[in-house]
Structure 1
Amino acid sequence: MHPRLLLRENLELFSSLLGFRMEEALELCKTLGLDGHLEKRFSELSHGNKKKAEILLALLGEPDIILMDEPLVSLDYVSRVALLGLLRRMKGKKTFLVVTHFPELLRGLCDRTFKMEDGKLTEIT
């Protein structure tokens, strides 16, 4: 996201580059609680709202695989619930690779869970 552009302007820019519909972006903004921040510059958003905007951008444009690094960090409780609900609705439609220190929050969404310990990756059954 460009820091000097409004959130709406960033979405319009990426819409033209990635080919997603603005209606789709605005619906996700509403889901993630960003609809009241569309006329704010990206640089003026709180850390949590910047994180939500970055997640929103990652979900748009029909990617097959979405990589997420600590997506729940910096989000308030309501935003975490909204994001988890959104991911739950997308399960089976997208492939997510998520890195988190809180796997228990994502466990019900995961088909496979791994842990990294002492440089070794092992599957948790």
Structure 2
Amino acid sequence: MSHANAALTPRHRLKVAKLVVDDGHPISEVAARFQCSWPTVKRWAERYRAGETMQDRSSRPHTSPNKTPLHVVKRVVSLRLRKRLGPVQLAALCGIAPSTAHQILKRCQLHRLSYTGLLHG
């Protein structure tokens, strides 16, 4: 969804694309008319040619090539449950960054140690 102050709403993006693709207007002229950059006009024209939607795309990546391997995640979770260590100690034992250990614990909902098992009494 485009924001309230967007220069080109989906309806205007379609107008821009049609002017360039269907009517043959130069990209620079259309950019000046709609007060946006020529790469923006070119982007919407190319999407229109490809038959794609004029809506905003998600910025979420399709893949995560640097994702923490599953065996490391399992090791962090296992050590957390067995030894009740914090993210800094877990990171040192597993060879990862403390922030990574903390993110793994948060994702597995193990980021807070309960106090019930700590009191002997």
Structure 1 or 2, whichever has the larger Rg, is 2
TM-score, normalised to structure 2, is: 0.23
TM-score, normalised to structure 1, is: 0.22
User: Which of the pair has the greater relative contact order for Cα pairs under 8 Å at 6+ separation?
Assistant: 1
